[in-house]
Structure 1
């Protein structure tokens, strides 16, 4: 049973044996009064082991027993020579001198027992049958629950390849457009006028007018002006 009242263990849950729970001592067997049958199908002896259970007889003769979650039952083992998987055989008493045997192969497996309500909980077959250790595994194998399995081979991951991509070089040559400017040449000859008949006529000849050259008669008034001014000055002085 699980106990959580021990102050020395800081109240941590620990397993504590039931009173009269030694499976080897037959004096610990509980029987129903006046019927001399075990209510849980227990059998005490040298080959008995403790197992978790919820068994009660289908015929309890009016009795009821509570808070009992484990019992003692004879157990034997059989190990397969090929797979090395053990099988546990559990025997329960159904009456005076009558027994029933059930088997299990998996830890925690719930096993029904004929003549009882509830079930037996299978113990760990590898522990009970002492085949948890391997004796025939090679150096390239490992032992798991009494069986040899090949050791996994670790394959290193491939090294990723680095690819360098060089972009293509593009050369662009840009030439500016050549602009040609054409200056119109003025025409030095004007179109000839036409007459009423559409024929071109020669332009009239123009004779340049000569610039007149001043004569002595034309320059005379200036001398007269000078003489007049001189006379006026003389008069002013008088």
Structure 2
């Protein structure tokens, strides 16, 4: 079990963008921190109003976006477009090649987490999917997954049968049991939580676990957590 605190991440910033990178990204290269399991990017980003990422290319990646505040407009070269907002998940399979833009058309900053996963195979047809989730149950909800155990319950299919992301939005003192996977990546997107064997976690703290799960209990203000389970 390895705890990675929010302030230990790589940070990049410009006039319109602030990004915190959990793994090596761009000019911030650490050969000992290029990913975890099948997860190769985990970017915590805030984009100013009226700005965003102009059209740019991707290839052979499963790209998952989860918005925490505001709304992000997506457009891509396959003709897909959509608005991603809190409670709605997005998956873009770059496959053999795709170009897309991500823009904040709103009047407030948009804060989101974008995660990149290695696909099952190269040169897949590019594709796009988004779905709205009911997170009122206080349970870990499979959001984007290729795992067989999530086949009938996940909202969005992931082109990687050995990985899946679940989300839990917890009320104060509410608890969930994390699965014991060979690779488990826990990210506290908001609030605080107590993890069995690790102690207190704050907003944007992460935990990397191997072959271990544990009980996670939300703090006094509740918590929203993103959990990647990988085999």
TM-score, normalized by the shorter chain, greater than 0.5? no
Q: TM-score range by the shorter chain?
A: under 0.3
Higher strand share: 2
Q: TM-score if structure 1 supplies the norm length?
A: 0.25
Query: Which has more radius of gyration?
Result: 1
Q: TM-score if structure 2 supplies the norm length?
A: 0.26
